[in-house]
Amino acid sequence: MKICVIPARGGSKRIPRKNIKDFLGKPMIAWSIEAAQKASIFSKIIVSTDDNEIASIAKKMGAEVPFIRPDSLSDDYSTTGDVMSHACKWMNDNEIKPKVVCCLYPTAPLIEASDLIEGLRIMSSGNW
């Protein structure tokens, strides 16, 4: 099982609401969710967020939001590693045992499905 986790907090300081700000006609996060869907390599696409509006948009786009991230992992000092560790612990606690977990940022509108497929191929080959 391969799972894509998109970490999207609501409290950006430099560009407020950047994860759901309109970009070429759709919310920024939609580009990442759609690329992950088109890649057809993930069993689940999970958005880790602390924000109900982001959660609603992510679900509308077809991603899962099985938990709301705790406030302690949504401040200016929380790292991507902390957030990914939390998501992996949640999966483990819920009997989800992925072989691969991919972190895909919500502000990556230029990512393409082929990039994700190639990244998995390289990682799987061990030649990185």
Distance of CA 15 to the CA centre of its chain: 19
N-term to C-term CA, the chain: 21
Question: Could you give the CA distance from residue 13 to residue 111 in angstroms, rounded to a whole number?
Answer: 24
Q: Specify the pTM.
A: 0.95
pLDDT tens-digit profile, the chain (128 residues): 999 999 999 988 888 999 999 999 999 999 999 999 999 999 999 999 999 999 999 999 999 999 999 999 999 899 999 999 999 999 999 999 999 999 999 999 999 999 999 999 999 888 76
Token duo for residue 17: 């609401």
Local structure of 61: helix, strand or coil: coil
Angle of CA points 49, 42, 83, to nearest 5°: 30
Question: Could you give the CA distance from residue 76 to residue 99 in angstroms, rounded to a whole number?
Answer: 30
